[in-house]
Homo-oligomer: A and B are copies of this chain.
Amino acid sequence: MLKEELKMKNIEQVLRSKKIKVTPQRMAVYSVLKNSTNHPNVDMIYKKLKPEYPAMSLATIYKTVEVLKQVGLIQELNTGEGSIRYDANTSNHPHIACIECGRVDDIHDVNIPPCGGELKTEIEEKTGYTVQKQQLYFFGICPDCHK
């Protein structure tokens, strides 16, 4: 069995275990996110799936990303460009967004110290909040827009 198929089988199990039905649309949306590195928004997912699923509506994609988010299979990114992007990598990693073209990239292997349990506790004590998650965004000009 191919690695790719194996991954998808796992997703099916995650959905079923949460009593959420497995549909072609859901698998397709997840597949787009899993196989892309550009953190697409709903419209980009829509356009990507159009050829293969011409009947699929925007509303379905909105509903699907919401479900996938609730289940914890994807996470939202909001860089303030007006639409929400999605990332199938749900680990807590920083992102960098281009203020010219909107492009969003992951930042890997950079030593970002905060966010350990220690910091979380400190913030909870000082603010009175219960901290659930965090997002670190950098903003700048991407290589392409420099040209």
Contacts and interface: CB of A to CB of B under 8 A. Distances in A.
Nearest to A133: B139
A134 B126 CA distance: 22
Interface stretch (A9-17, A42-50, A76-84): A76-84
What DSSP secondary structure best describes chain A's contact surface?
A: mixed
Contacts of A137: 134-137
Interface size class of A (residues with CB under 8 A): 35 or more
Nearest to A77: B80
Interface string A124-147: 101111111111111111110010
A133 B80 CA distance: 13
Given A96-B123, A110-B123, A134 B128 contact: no
Contact of A111 (B122, B130, B135): B122
Interface string A68-89: 0000000010111000100000
Interface stretch (A23-31, A32-40, A54-62, A112-120): A112-120
